[in-house]
Amino acid sequence: MVLMCIVASYFVLAGFSASFASGGGFGNNYYSPFEGTELEQVRQLDQQYTILRAPLIYSGVAVSLGLGVLTLSVLLQGARSLDRLPGKWLPLEAAFSLLAALGYCVGIGVYLHAALRINATDTCRTRERVYARRGLTWMNCQLAVTDGAAATFACLLVVMYGASVVLALRSYREQKRYEDSQEQHSNYNDAPEYLWSGRL
C-alpha cells in the first residue's frame, strides 16, 4: 500500500497536462482548459514540479521494494517450527524488524519533509496560481492526500514491525525453554544407574 500511494502521488501531482504533454493522452478529443502560451507555461511548470518530486518516488519505491523483499525472505525463512529454527535466527529476525521499523520512521520524516519543501518552492506556488485561474483549485501546494496516505500506511508498517519484534523475542524465550527442557531430559536419561548391594 505504501508503494501504491507513492506511485499514485507522483502521477496525480504530475499535473493536468501530463496526459497530453506528448500530444497523445486520451486522444485528440482530450479536453484542456489551457491553450496557447498558457498551455506551454503549464507544461513547463508541470515538468519542473515533476522533476522536483522525482527523487521522492525513486527513493520511496526503492525503500518499499527493498524492505518488502527482505521481509518476505525473513518470513519464508522463519516459517518453521521452533525446534527446527537455528538458535540465532529469532534474535536476528527481531533485530531486522527493529531496524525496519526505525528505517520506516526515518523514511516517513524525510519523505514528508521533502514533500513540504517542494511544495514551498516558487515553482509550486506559480503552478498553483496558474491552475487556480482556471478553477482547478485541487492542484495546490498543500500536502497531497496520497502523500498522507503513504505516511499513514508506513506508520501501520512500523506498528507491525514492532509487533514482530515482540513476537520474535517471545518465540526465542520459548525456544530456549524447550531446548533447556530437552537438555535436562537428555541428562536424566544419560545418568548412571547404581547397583544397590542390599546392605544399608
Mean pLDDT on 179-186: 67
- The C-alpha cell at 1 is 500500500
Distance CA 147, CA 112 (A): 8
Distance CA 175, CA 91 (A): 11
Q: What is the model's pLDDT at position 17?
A: 59
Name the pLDDT band for 199 (thresholds 50, 70, 90): very low
Q: Examine the pLDDT at 18 and tell me if it is beyond 90.
A: no
Q: Nearest to residue 105, comparing CAs of 164, 155, 68, 55?
A: 155
- The C-alpha cell at 27 is 486522444
DSSP 143: P
**Helix, strand or coil, per DSSP, at residue 127:** helix
- The C-alpha cell at 124 is 509550486
Q: What is the model's pLDDT at position 114?
A: 94
Mean pLDDT on 130-135: 88
Q: What is the model's pLDDT at position 95?
A: 94
85, amino acid identity: L
Mean pLDDT on 42-63: 90
Q: What is the mean pLDDT of the chain?
A: 81
120, amino acid identity: A
Q: Examine the pLDDT at 171 and tell me if it is beyond 80.
A: yes
Distance CA 68, CA 176 (A): 29
DSSP 19: G
Contact present, 93 and 74 (Cβ < 8 Å): yes
